[in-house]
Amino acid sequence: MRYLVKHTKRYLKTSSHSLTTPPAPHWPYHIFNGLTQKLCHNPSFPPPPNLGGKYFPYKTLKPLSSLVILFSLPPGDFQTLTLVFFHLSSFAGIMLELRLVQGSLLKKVMESLKDLVTDANFDCSATGFSLQAMDSSHVALVSLLLRSEGFEHYRCDRNLSMGMNLNNMSKMLKCAGNDDIITLKADDGSDTVTFMFESPTQDKIADFEMKLMDIDSEHLGIPEAEYHAIVRMPSSEFARICKDLSSIGDTVVISVTKEGVKFSTRGDIGTANVVCRQNTTVDKPEEATVIEMNEPVSLTFALRYMNSFTKATPLSSTVTISLSSELPVVVEYKIAEMGYIRFYLAPKIEEDEEDNKS
């Protein structure tokens, strides 16, 4: 990775020019690292249009051991644009930099997680940005993956684990506009992570720095499993069902048969049942209800967790619910084309079953 630098200066007639140290402080520098634009700007030079990024004081530019000019200055040209390369070693030891054009996706991810998980390690590798964590009661597990190809710019020099408080991270991300471009950066050996928010027109740039945490967590292997039943349905419909049933009871029984999928609950004030039948004749695929069943399944789950999972509804128009006897349910939301968020929840064992086993 190299940094491309543009600088402008009046030259005398010459056919070439070489430099071994940075130019005088009054030269404006427009620094690009990959697709992220940063600007070293002197107030006497207004920033050019369509350029944005983070403002750095001139002192952050270090002397260069080498500077390569890509083309010579034409004779008689007293003001021109020269392109040069700054080697990466000339800058701070940035080892992680992720640029997400759809910054609202990251905001929605945090909103769906912060009430379920308090602290978690975000794992960064060459393939993507991921998280795996359990809730404080160790009842539910969440698995998040954002693949590297989904970012406009993705750089991770080596595998890195960053411990963060999700509520604090959510507070920082709320400072970004829904249309802002979000860049996440971390330096080698640093105990902080930087969030940079750029407006679409790049006329406003903000950066926030958050302290990282040391979190001891064990990465759980999630084995691939064959599920007895898989239900795909509109995520908004699933969220509405969970919300409605929670006003009646504390648990939901999800039963899948050849007739469809039934959501049932029982409480002090009465009972409630919602049946969704397979429907694939809709105009929009995201409005379809598709049921794949190898054998009937009926499992009971805590509604408060299901309602927590549905906070991921803004991420996807559809939700996939995978069920199998004596296995945790998997509630999955696809995140655009770049990944997914999956929630795992163990079924509740009914008192009658416990009595029979005893």
CATH number, residue 289? 3.70.10.10
Quick one: pLDDT at residue 187?
Answer: 87
> Tokens for 15?
């056919």
Determine, yes or no, domain membership for 216.
no
86 with 123, same domain: the answer is no
Q: How many domains does the chain have?
A: 3
* Residue 26 domain boundaries: 2-90
Output 18 or 168, whichever has higher pLDDT.
168
Determine, yes or no, domain membership for 219.
no
Q: Which long-range contacts (CB under 8 A, 24 or more apart) does 195-204 make?
A: 196/53, 196/54, 197/103, 198/52, 198/53, 199/52, 201/52, 202/37, 202/50, 202/51, 202/52, 202/53, 203/52
Quick one: pLDDT at residue 180?
Answer: 96
Residue 23 has pLDDT above 90, yes or no: no
Determine, yes or no, domain membership for 222.
no
Residue 248 has pLDDT above 70, yes or no: yes
Instruction: Assess contact for 243 and 310: CB atoms under 8 A.
Output: yes
> Tokens for 94?
């940035």
Instruction: Assess contact for 244 and 329: CB atoms under 8 A.
Output: no
- pLDDT bin (cut points 50, 70, 90) of residue 346 is very high
Quick one: pLDDT at residue 72?
Answer: 36
Return the CA Rg of the chain.
27
Closest CA to 344 of 164, 167, 135: 135
Local structure of residue 114 (DSSP, 8 states): T
Answer with the one of 160, 181, 211 that is the final residue of a domain. 211
Local structure of residue 125 (DSSP, 8 states): -
Determine, yes or no, domain membership for 250.
yes
143 with 178, same domain: the answer is yes
Question: How far, in Å, CA of 273 to CA of 153, rounded?
Answer: 47
183 with 99, same domain: the answer is yes
Question: How far, in Å, CA of 30 to CA of 56, rounded?
Answer: 10
Quick one: pLDDT at residue 336?
Answer: 86
Determine, yes or no, domain membership for 29.
yes
130 with 81, same domain: the answer is no
pTM: 0.73
Determine, yes or no, domain membership for 218.
no
For range 117-140, the mean pLDDT:
93
204 with 100, same domain: the answer is yes
81 with 103, same domain: the answer is no
Hunting for tokens 């506009």 — which residue is that?
177
Determine, yes or no, domain membership for 303.
yes
Q: Which regions of 94-213 does DSSP assign to beta strands (E)? A: 94-100, 119-124, 128-134, 140-147, 153-156, 160-165, 181-187, 192-198, 205-211
- pLDDT bin (cut points 50, 70, 90) of residue 14 is very low
- Computed over every residue of the chain, the mean pLDDT equals 77
